[in-house]
Amino acid sequence: MTQHRSWYKTVLGVFFTALMLFPVYWMVNVSFTPNDQLAKANPDWFPIHGTVSGYVTVLHQQGPYILTSLFVGICTVIVTLVVAAPAGYALGKLQPPGGGLVGFLLLVAQMIPGIIMAIGFYAIFTSLNILNNVFALVLADSTLSVPFAVLIFAAFMSGIPRELLQASEIDGAGSFRTFWSVVLPVSRNSIVTVALFTFLWSWSDFIFANTLDAGGDHLPITLGIYHYIGDNQLQWTSIMATAVIASIPATILLIVAQRYVAAGVTAGAIKD
Amino acid sequence: MVTKEKNTPMSLRRGGAAVPAVPPRLRRLRRLRHSRRLIAWTFLAPAVIYLVVFFAYPMYRNLDLSLRNYTVEAFVQGNAAFTGWANYSAVIHNPTFVPALYHTLIFTVVSIAFQFTIGFGLAVFFAKNFRLSRVLRALFLVPWLLPLIVSASTWSWMLNTNFGVVNSALGWFGINPVDWLTAPVWALVSVIIANIWIGIPFNLVLLYSGLQSIPQDIYEAAMLDGAGGTQRFWRVTVPLLKPVIGITLLLGFIYTLRVFDIIWIMTKGGPDNTSTTFSTWSYQLSFGNLVPQFGPGAAVANLLIVLTLIFAFIYLAVRRRLDTA
């Protein structure tokens, strides 16, 4: 009976998942369908006339965009970790007076709509003459992850046993030494979580890229796709091939770090 | 992580025991306690500076923009005339104001209603482990992880009037092609559909983790008392899950009010502003026209922030009550 019931649940579960992931399948399907086969009222459900021409075009045209996104993503991760890890340690473990207020402000900062930040940064970057600068884009992108990162670090680091830190101090290590050689190594999991989400958000960013870097020499992959869509020829095979490539980091994240993903979604929302 | 924590202190403590004299250790501890505040603030300082430079200052610039009459030249030279609330008044009397507000609310409420209901249903479905349930639950995260431009462009093509798979599937049931993205009555519906798809995983994950924290023996007790499945859901699950439900809904509101990418990429708020929200309208005013209107754009953005902050403070109040409870 139980055997039978769980089997029936698995079938239902597979059905729901297939339904949910249909758009993803469709993206892959279209990416392999030649452009001249796309202009049909009843599209092919499988890439029977399969082609990789979309991917070839993408690799020729979008290579620099992909590299830019990788670069921006990695730089954003570095900035975020440098700012957030010490702050998370301070809020989670050292708890200075006034720390509660900082934590509160970080929660609010996380909720500020992107459009407000985009307009504000546009004004600032114009005055400083750093529009269309990749490093300026990195700084803007880091605002997507820094508040989240501090809160995650604070949550994880508050669980580090006090004796561990005391032992290190008794050994003669200063606070910074303790942070560097005790706190950071035991917080490896939270560092991975933060780095993964930071990279993903920076990689996926569209609004900052489109307002602050649209005229730059180095455009990220999101703008590569956006310009493809804006293009009148509407090369959907290539657009979807680019979309598939742009989805690779998310896919890797899910395969390699599934438990970190679930932790990242719930942390900051439920756990304190 | 747990094993790491258990291993490291042992070795460190062994090292600590090797230090012979007691007094210097005590003195060092006392000195540490004195400078602890200073050290804590040294660790916190970069984040505080960051908050000021990268959050407070852009928000201040945004507010400043909304209170001045910025032309393109003034924007570059920074000498725009102060006009007080003129931009706000102009925005509120703009014919787009009422539709944009209405669309923002409809978009948010309808998205949340579906995301939450479907996410909750799936969370309950996945709550009891079955074969493959872990893998399938992980796959459900995909829409949430994909870059929004990927999701939005995929949905754009799926909803294409002539060649889209959605209209093709509707055709099997004898339904005529729908102008999803180009008809005024359907544009908002289309972006809501895409947004629901993206938001389901978030609701699923939060509610699922909430369900996991309900002790199993409560269900067993309810079962012994003769409660059926429906009764167990309404009398046990829902009351015990109330805090998580509240937080999921409030965060949902906060993060849906601000949605920009999906709408902008799929419809640009069109046709004829029929799917525009505060986010896209603000963007349209600031960056979408040949002659940018930064003042009114910033004013709309600030109205959006007021809307967001209302929900944010409810959320923070709820959280505080939960933390102290």
Q: Model ipTM?
A: 0.90
In angstroms, the Cα distances linking B120 to B110, B116, B198, B319 are 15, 6, 15, 20
pLDDT band at A268 (very low <50, low <70, confident <90, very high): low
Residue B7 is predicted with a pLDDT of 38
Q: Return the residue of A nearest to B60 by Cα.
A: A120
Query: Position B155: which residue type?
Result: W
In angstroms, the Cα distances linking B78 to B53, B92, B246, B302 are 19, 25, 44, 20
Using CB atoms, which residue from A41, A170, A226 is nearest to B16?
A170
Q: Do A42 and B171 touch (CB under 8 A)?
A: yes
- How far separated are the first and last CA of chain B, in Å rounded? 28
C-alpha torsion A8→A14→A18→A21, nearest 10: 140
Quick one: what percent of chain A has pLDDT higher than 70?
A: 93
Cβ(A71)–Cβ(A257) under 8 Å?
no
pLDDT band at A168 (very low <50, low <70, confident <90, very high): confident
Q: Do B258 and A102 touch (CB under 8 A)?
A: no
Q: Which CATH class is domain A61-266?
A: mainly alpha
A246: how many CB neighbours lie within 10 A of its CB? 26
Q: Do B47 and A146 touch (CB under 8 A)?
A: yes
Q: Do A120 and B294 touch (CB under 8 A)?
A: no
B102: how many CB neighbours lie within 10 A of its CB? 12
**B103 to chain A, minimum CA–CA distance in Å?**
17
Q: Return the residue of A nearest to B200 by Cα.
A: A20
Q: How far apart, in whole angstroms, are the C-alpha atoms of residue A221 and residue A213?
A: 12
Classify residue A3 as exposed, middle or buried by CB count within 10 Å of its CB (0-12, 13-18, 19+): exposed
Residue A270 is predicted with a pLDDT of 43
Give domain B96-324's CATH superfamily.
MetI-like (1.10.3720.10)
Q: How far apart, in whole angstroms, are the C-alpha atoms of residue B21 and residue A16?
A: 67
A62-71, A253-262, B76-85: range with highest mean pLDDT: A62-71
Closest CA to B303 of B152, B30, B113, B89: B89
Which tens digits make up the pLDDT trace of A192-242? 889 988 999 999 999 999 999 988 888 999 999 998 887 766 788 889 999
Query: Position A160: which residue type?
Result: I
Residue A74 is predicted with a pLDDT of 97
Cβ(B192)–Cβ(B107) under 8 Å?
yes
Q: Return the residue of B nearest to A10 by Cα.
A: B131
Q: Return the residue of B nearest to A148 by Cα.
A: B47
Q: How far apart, in whole angstroms, are the C-alpha atoms of residue A226 and residue A210?
A: 9
pLDDT band at B1 (very low <50, low <70, confident <90, very high): very low
Q: Do A10 and B131 touch (CB under 8 A)?
A: yes
Residue B21 is predicted with a pLDDT of 52
- At what angle are helices A99-111 and B23-51 packed, to 10 degrees? 30
Q: Do B40 and A95 touch (CB under 8 A)?
A: yes
Cβ(A84)–Cβ(B47) under 8 Å?
yes
Cβ(B124)–Cβ(B237) under 8 Å?
yes
Residue B33 is predicted with a pLDDT of 66
Residue B18 is predicted with a pLDDT of 46
- What average pLDDT does the segment B230-245 reach? 89
Domain borders along chain A are: 61-266
Q: Return the residue of B nearest to A45 by Cα.
A: B165
- Span of A82-91, A194-203, B227-236 with lowest mean pLDDT: B227-236
In angstroms, the Cα distances linking A14 to A8, A19, B124, B125, B145 are 10, 9, 16, 12, 20
Q: Do B308 and A90 touch (CB under 8 A)?
A: no
Angle A143-A145-A151 (CA atoms, 0-180°, nearest 5)? 115
CB contacts of B75 in chain A (<8 Å) are 123, 126
Q: How far apart, in whole angstroms, are the C-alpha atoms of residue B42 and residue A88?
A: 12
**B76 to chain A, minimum CA–CA distance in Å?**
7
CB contacts of B16 in chain A (<8 Å) are 167, 170-171
Residue A232 is predicted with a pLDDT of 62
A158-162, B203-207, B221-225: range with highest mean pLDDT: B203-207
Counted across chains A and B, CB pairs separated by less than 8 A come out at 323
Query: Position B47: which residue type?
Result: A
Q: In this structure, what token pair is assigned to residue A252?
A: 């890797």
Average pLDDT, chain A: 87
Find all residues with CB under 8 Å of B258, minimum gap 6, and list them: A113, A114, A115, B279, B304, B308
Residue A97 is predicted with a pLDDT of 86
C-alpha torsion B199→B205→B206→B211, nearest 10: 140
Q: How far apart, in whole angstroms, are the C-alpha atoms of residue A39 and residue B275?
A: 26
Q: Is the pLDDT score of B181 beyond 70? A: yes
**B295 to chain A, minimum CA–CA distance in Å?**
10
Question: Who has greater pLDDT, A258 or B94?
Answer: B94
Which tens digits make up the pLDDT trace of B110-135? 999 999 999 999 999 998 888 888 88
Q: In this structure, what token pair is assigned to residue A145?
A: 């992850």
pLDDT band at B8 (very low <50, low <70, confident <90, very high): very low
Cβ(B284)–Cβ(B195) under 8 Å?
no
Q: Is the pLDDT score of A271 beyond 80? A: no
Q: Is the pLDDT score of B2 beyond 90? A: no
Which tens digits make up the pLDDT trace of A20-66? 999 999 999 999 988 888 877 778 888 887 888 889 988 888 889 99
DSSP B16: H
- At what angle are helices A53-61 and A63-89 packed, to 10 degrees? 70
Which tens digits make up the pLDDT trace of B259-284? 999 999 999 988 989 999 999 999 99
Instruction: For residue B271, say if its preceding peptide bond is cis, omega within 30 degrees of 0.
Output: yes
Q: Is the pLDDT score of B214 beyond 70? A: yes
Q: Do B154 and A240 touch (CB under 8 A)?
A: yes
Q: Is the pLDDT score of A170 beyond 70? A: yes
Residue B22 is predicted with a pLDDT of 59
Question: Who has greater pLDDT, A253 or B99?
Answer: B99
Rg of chain B, C-alpha, whole Å: 27
**A269 to chain B, minimum CA–CA distance in Å?**
7
Classify residue A215 as exposed, middle or buried by CB count within 10 Å of its CB (0-12, 13-18, 19+): exposed
In angstroms, the Cα distances linking B234 to B222, B229, B230, B242 are 12, 9, 6, 11
Residue A4 is predicted with a pLDDT of 57
CB contacts of A186 in chain B (<8 Å) are 1, 4-5, 8
Average pLDDT, chain B: 86
Q: Is the pLDDT score of B50 beyond 50? A: yes
CB contacts of B287 in chain A (<8 Å) are 122, 210-211
CB contacts of B289 in chain A (<8 Å) are none
- How far separated are the first and last CA of chain A, in Å rounded? 41
Question: Who has greater pLDDT, A51 or B54?
Answer: B54
Which tens digits make up the pLDDT trace of B129-143? 888 888 898 899 899
Q: Do B297 and A87 touch (CB under 8 A)?
A: no
3-state secondary structure chain A: CHHHHHHHHHHHHHHHHHHHCHHHHHHHHHHCCCHHHCCCCCCCCCCCCCCCHHHHHHHHHCHHHHHHHHHHHHHHHHHHHHHHHHHHHHHHHHCCCCHHHHHHHHHHHHHCCHHHHHHHHHHHHHHHCCCCCHHHHHHHHHCCCHHHHHHHHHHHHCCCCHHHHHHHHHCCCCHHHHHHHHHHHHCHHHHHHHHHHHHHHHHHCCHHHHHHCCCCCCCCHHHHHHHHHHCCCCCHHHHHHHHHHHCHHHHHHHHHCHHHHHHHHHECCCEC
Q: How far apart, in whole angstroms, are the C-alpha atoms of residue B297 and residue B285?
A: 5
Pairing of strands B68-69, B81-82: antiparallel
Using CB atoms, which residue from A84, A211, A222 is nearest to B47?
A84
Q: Do B28 and A265 touch (CB under 8 A)?
A: no
pLDDT band at B6 (very low <50, low <70, confident <90, very high): very low
**B221 to chain A, minimum CA–CA distance in Å?**
20
Using CB atoms, which residue from B4, B54, B62 is nearest to A186?
B4
